[in-house]
Amino acid sequence: MTLIKTVILIFISLELANVTALYFAPGSKLANAVGIFKAWEKSKKHPDIHDFIKYLVNWVAGAKLIFLLLLAVIVLYADIDTQRMSLLALAIATASFYWRLFPLIKKMDKAGEIDPPKYSTFLGVMIFVFIAVFLVALFI
């Protein structure tokens, strides 16, 4: 098995844990589920808002599942050049986190709306490591 396939399969496994958490235990604080957001529990006091949030959580899980299945097809059937370009696509797409999501989670963390505190920093570092691994595997 090539390094590229290994990196993609590890990413699929990690993200599959997130999809599973989002579908079956969205309030969990594990696997980057939405339980880290204090607003998750607060929204339960407003069933219409909570239903909307659950809809968005499930929509994200579904979009991730589509993406992961496409990655699995790339691992199984694509040639090495397509697999290599998929790593570049993963790096670019993952970097988009810093455009909109990171400023929001950092703001909520600073306001005390994230538990555990400083989770935004941990997540920011973790996403950076993903990007670095994608790029290193791309160029080796």
- Which letter does DSSP use for residue 31 in this model? T
Q: How much is the pLDDT for 85?
A: 97
Q: How much is the pLDDT for 124?
A: 97
Tell me the whole-structure pTM to 2 decimals. Answer: 0.92
Using pLDDT thresholds of 50, 70 and 90, give the confidence band for residue 23.
very high
Using pLDDT thresholds of 50, 70 and 90, give the confidence band for residue 75.
very high
Contact indicator for 41, 27 with CB cutoff of 8 Å: yes
C-alpha angle 111-64-7 in degrees, rounded to nearest 5? 100
